[in-house]
Structure 1
Amino acid sequence: MTILTEPSPMPQPVTLPPAARRRIWGWWMFDWASQPYNTLLLTFIFGPYVNELLGDGTAAQTAWGYGIGAAGLLIALLAPILGAIADRSGKRMPFIWLFSVMYVVGAAGLWLAVPGDFNLVVILCFFAIGLIGMEFATIFTNALLPSLGPRDQLGRISGSGWAFGYLGGFVALVIMLLLLAENAVTGKTLIGIDPILGLNAQMREGTRAVGPLAATWYALFMIPFFLWVRETRQPDALPMGRAVATALPELIGHLKALPQDRSLFAYLGSSMFYRDALNGMYVFGGIYAAGVLGWSVVDVGIFGILAVLTGALFAWIGGRADSRFGPKPVITLNVLTLTLVALGIVFVSRDSVFGIPTGPESSLPDIAFYILGAVIGASGGALQSASRTMLVRQAHPDRITEGFGLYALAGKATSFIAPLLIGVTTQLSGNQQMGIAPLIGLFLIGLVLLLWVDPTGREETET
C-alpha cells in the first residue's frame, strides 16, 4: 500500500557485447521511427490543421474525440488476443511487419485532407488505420524489452529509448515547421519561405505533407530495427494455427484469474486511467490551443518543440530514477504533476490566466500555456517510460506479449472515455476549457489505484 520505497543500491552499467548493444539500438530505432505519429499527427500539426479546416474549435474537438475513441475501442478488443497468439507462437516480428504497413498507409493517406474538398470521415478512417498500426506495433516491440538487458537496467534502457523517440519527434517537427508547414495567412513557413519541393501553399500542401513525411520517416528508420533486432527462439513455441486456436480460451482463463493477482490488476487499472488522461492531453492539446488561444499551426508547432525537448530530457532522467528507485515513485510523482497541470489548463484562456484578467494583446496566456506544455512533455515522457518497465515487473515472464496486450487493453478499454468525455463535455457546455476538466478526475482515479501496486513486482516477490 506504500507509494515510495527505499532506494535500492545504484545499479552499475553492464558491459554488453556488440551484438547486444546493436540490438538495443535497433529497439530504440522503433521509438525514433514511430514518434512522429504522436508528435506531428496526433498533437502539433495535423490536429490543429483539422481545426482550421472545420473553422470551429468545438466541432473539431468533438469529431476528433469520437474518431480516436472508436479506434481505441478496436485496439482494446484485439490487443490481448494478438499478444496471446504471439506468446504461444513465439513470433512477434510478423505482427510488427503487418502493423508497420498499416502505419505507413494510414499516415500517407492524410495527404487527402484538401481544403474545400475535405471528407472528414475518409480522413478519420486513414488516421485510425495509422493509429491502430502504430499502437499494435508498439505492443509487440515493447514485449521485447525484458530480453534487452538485466532487470535493474531496464529502466535506463526504456528511458533512453523514450528520450530517443522524443528526439526523433523533435527533428521531424523542426523539418515540418522550417520547411513545410505554411502559415494559413501568409503561406510561409516558420523561417519565412515557401514550402519546399514546390508544394502549393494555397492548397496547404506543405501542411498536408505531414502525413507522407511521417510515413516515409517510419519506413526509413525502421530498417535498422528489422536488421538488428532478432527474436530469441522459444523451444515450447506452438505452430501458428494451434497458437491461434488456443490463445482465446487460455486468455479468457487468465482474465478470470486476473483479479486474484492484486498488484497486476491494480496496476492495469491505475494505468488505464492515468494513461487515458495523458493521451487526452496529447490529442487535444493542439486543438485546445488553436481554439481557445487562437494559435496557428506554426504557433502550436513551436509549443510542440518545447514540449518534445522537455519530454526527451525528462524521459532520460526518469529512466535513471527508475533504475535507482524503481518505476513506482516515478509514476506517482508524474501523475500528481499532471493532475495539477490539467487543473491549470482549465484556467488559461485568452481573457484570463488563473483568474487574472488579460487584455487582447497580452502574451501572458501564451506564456502560461507554453509553461504548461513543457511540464506535460516532461512528466509525460518520464511517466510513459516508467510505465512500461513497471509492466515488465508485474507481468508473467512467459506471457510478456499478452501482458503488454492487457496493458494496451487497460490503456484502450477506456481510451474512448477521455476523448468522448471531452467531446460530450465540450458539446454540452459549448466551452473548450470546460471540456478538458474530465482529465482531472481520470488522473486522480489512477493515483488512488496505484496504492495497491507492489513496487517490487512479480519476479522479486515470487523468488
Structure 2
Amino acid sequence: MNTAAQSEAPHPASELASGPAVSNKGQIIAWASWDWGSAAFNAVMTTFVFTVYLTSKAFGGGDKASATLGAALAIAGVAIAVLAPVTGQRSDAGGRRKLWLGVNTILVAILTGLCFFVFPRPEFLLLGVCLIALGNVFFEFAGVNYNAMLAQISTPANIGKVSGFGWGMGYLGGIVALLVVLKLFVQPSFEWFGASTQDSLNIRLVAVFSALWLFIFALPLLFAVPEFSVPKTDRRLGFFDSYRLLGRRISAIYKTSPHTIYFLLSSAIFRDGLAAVFTFGGVIAAGTFGFELTQVIFFAIFGNVVAAVGAMIGGFLDDRIGPKSVIVISLIGLLIAGTSILVLGNGDYVFFGAHWAGSTTFWVFGLFLCLFVGPAQASSRAYLARLAPEGESGELFGLYATTGRAVSFLAPALFTLCITIATPFVAAGAAQRWGILGIMVVLLAGLLVILPVKSPDKADIAVVPVR
C-alpha cells in the first residue's frame, strides 16, 4: 500500500554507508578497468589524436575547425543535460545500472569505430565532429551508471582512494593506449598496412583501435561487479512521469540536504572547465604551439603520468582532509598554470638565465594543469557518492551529469567566443591561444561558487520521495 507517509519515508542512510563493510579488491580492479578502457575515447579520440586530426589543415584550418568542434560539443552538452538524470533514475528503479552501462559503452565503441570513415577533407569535418559529439552523449550516460557503482564497491573509509584509483587507472590506460597508437600508427616500428598515410589511413585506424580498446576493457566490470539490487516496483513510470518524479525529488533534496544541490551547481561549473582542459589541450598544443602529432602524443603520455600521480595523491588526501579541500586546492593550481600558459605562451622569455620558448612554457605549465585535473575530478565524484541516499546514486549522478552538462556549453562556447573575438586583432592562426582565457574564466567561476558549500561530513543525507 502506497501512502503519503510511506512515499516520504526517509532512507536510513547514504548508499555508501549501507554498502559493504569491506571492499572487494577484485571488484575494485574490475570497476577501474572500465576507466582504463575509457582512456581510448578520452585521451586518444577527444583530446590528443582524433580531435587534433579534425582541427588540422586538411579540414579547413585550426580556427574554423576548432570553432566547429566547440559548437558540436556544446550541442551534445544540451542533450546530456536533458536526458542524463532520467537515465540514471530509471536504471536505479529497474536495478539495471550495469546493463545500461554496457549498452551505452557499446554505443560509444560503435560511434568511435565509425570515425574510420572520416576522410581528411573539409566535407568530412561535420561527420567527424558529429560522431565525436554523439559519442560524448553516450559516454556521459555510461559514466552516470559507472559513477553510481562507486558506492557499491567502496566504504566510507576508502572511497576517496577508490575514486582516485579509478581516475589514476584511466590516466595510465591513456598512457598505454597512446604508446600503442604511437608505435603502431603514428611512428610505426615496422611496416604494415595500418602505417600508411594515404588518406590518413593510419589515423583513421586509430579510431578502430580505440573502439576495440574501450570494449575489451569494459568486460571485466560487466562480469565481476554484481548488478545493483533494488526491490521490484508495482509499476513503471512513463518518460514524462519520470521528469515529474525528478522534479519532486530535486525539491525534496533541496529541503532536506540543500548543500547537495549547492554542490551539484558549483561542481557543474568547474567540471566543465576541467573537461575543456582535456578536450582542447591537444588542439591548443598543435594549433597554438606548433606541436606535430608525435609531439602531442609525447606530451599526452607525460601528461597522463602526471595526472595519474595527481589523482592518486588526491584520493589519499581526500580521505584525510576531505574532498572539498582537495577540489579548492586543485582549482587554484589550475588557474595559476592556465593563466601562465596564456600570458607567457606568446613569445620567448629568459628565466634565471634559461631561454624559454612558447613550447617550453606549454610543456611546464601544461603538465601542472594535468597534475591538478585528476584530484578535482576524483574528489568531486567521491563528494557526491558520500551524500547519495540509499538506492538513489544513479539518479543523483544523473543530476551530477545534468547540472554539469546544463552548463557544458559554457567552456566550449567561451573557448569559441574568445577565438572569434580575438581573430580580427591578431595574426592569422594566432587567435586560438585566446580560447584558453574562456576556460580560465569557467574555472575561476567554479572556484568562487564552491567556497561557501559545506563539506560532505557537515551536510545532511537527502530524504527523497520514492514515487
Which of the residues 33, 41, 44 maps onto 2:37? 33
Q: How big is the shift at 1:226? A: 1.0
Q: How big is the shift at 1:350? A: 5.2
Q: How big is the shift at 1:296? A: 1.2
1:419 is aligned to: 412
The sequence identity of aligned pairs, in percent, is: 29
CA distance in 2, matches of 1:119, 1:354: 43
2:296 is aligned to: 300
Conserved? CA contact 1:30–1:221, under 8 Å: yes
Q: Which amino acid aligns with 2:450?
A: L
Alpha-carbon RMSD across the aligned residues, in angstroms, is: 2.5
2:309 is aligned to: 313
SS of structure 2 residue aligned to 1:151: coil
Which of the residues 413, 420, 428 maps onto 2:421? 428
Determine whether 1:138 maps to 2:143. Answer: yes
1:247 is aligned to: 242
Q: How big is the shift at 1:199? A: 3.7
CA distance in 2, matches of 1:45, 1:201: 15
- TM-score w.r.t. the length of structure 2 is 0.87
CA distance in 1, matches of 2:133, 2:235: 27
1:447 is aligned to: 447
Which of the residues 322, 331, 334 maps onto 2:330? 334
Which of the residues 261, 265, 276 maps onto 1:265? 261
Q: How big is the shift at 1:457? A: 4.0
Determine whether 1:224 maps to 2:220. Answer: yes
Conserved? CA contact 1:396–1:458, under 8 Å: no
CA displacement, residues 177-200 of structure 1 (integer Å, 9 cap, x when unaligned): 12212xxxxxxx1x6x46644442
Q: How big is the shift at 1:120? A: 1.5
More off after superposition, 127-136 vs 399-408: 127-136
Give the 5 Å matches for 1:74-113: 74-113=79-118
Q: Which amino acid aligns with 1:180?
A: F
More off after superposition, 383-392 vs 79-88: 79-88
CA displacement, residues 303-331 of structure 1 (integer Å, 9 cap, x when unaligned): 11111000111111111111111111111
SS of structure 1 residue aligned to 2:121: coil
CA distance in 1, matches of 2:386, 2:136: 27
SS of structure 2 residue aligned to 1:397: coil
Give the 5 Å matches for 1:31-430: 31-52=35-56, 53-116=58-121, 118-181=123-186, 189=187, 193=189, 196-235=192-231, 237-238=232-233, 241-242=236-237, 246-260=241-255, 261-349=257-345, 351-352=347-348, 364-430=357-423
CA distance in 1, matches of 2:420, 2:114: 28
Which of the residues 23, 31, 40 maps onto 2:27? 23
Q: How big is the shift at 1:227? A: 0.9
CA distance in 2, matches of 1:412, 1:262: 20
Conserved? CA contact 2:101–2:146, under 8 Å: yes
Conserved? CA contact 2:34–2:218, under 8 Å: yes
Conserved? CA contact 2:259–2:453, under 8 Å: yes
Conserved? CA contact 1:347–1:433, under 8 Å: no
Q: How big is the shift at 1:301? A: 0.8
CA distance in 2, matches of 1:335, 1:262: 23
- TM-score w.r.t. the length of structure 1 is 0.87
Q: How big is the shift at 1:363? A: 5.9
Q: How big is the shift at 1:244? A: 5.1
Q: Which amino acid aligns with 2:54?
A: V
Q: 1:256 to 1:460 in 2, by over 3 A?
A: closer
Conserved? CA contact 1:264–1:394, under 8 Å: yes
| Unaligned runs of at least 5 residues, structure 1 | 1-13, 182-188
SS of structure 1 residue aligned to 2:30: helix
Q: How big is the shift at 1:201? A: 1.5
Q: 1:167 to 1:249 in 2, by over 3 A?
A: same
SS of structure 2 residue aligned to 1:119: helix
Q: Which amino acid aligns with 2:408?
A: S
CA distance in 1, matches of 2:194, 2:161: 43
CA distance in 2, matches of 1:444, 1:266: 17
Q: 1:60 to 1:354 in 2, by over 3 A?
A: farther
Residue correspondences, number: 434
Conserved? CA contact 1:110–1:126, under 8 Å: yes
CA distance in 1, matches of 2:399, 2:191: 43
Q: How big is the shift at 1:459? A: 7.3
CA distance in 1, matches of 2:182, 2:60: 21
Q: How big is the shift at 1:117? A: 6.9
CA distance in 1, matches of 2:198, 2:97: 44
More off after superposition, 50-59 vs 452-461: 452-461
CA distance in 1, matches of 2:398, 2:244: 15
More off after superposition, 61-70 vs 107-116: 107-116
Conserved? CA contact 1:140–1:401, under 8 Å: yes
Conserved? CA contact 1:195–1:201, under 8 Å: no
CA distance in 2, matches of 1:353, 1:409: 43
CA distance in 2, matches of 1:276, 1:83: 20
CA distance in 1, matches of 2:437, 2:351: 16
Conserved? CA contact 1:339–1:444, under 8 Å: yes
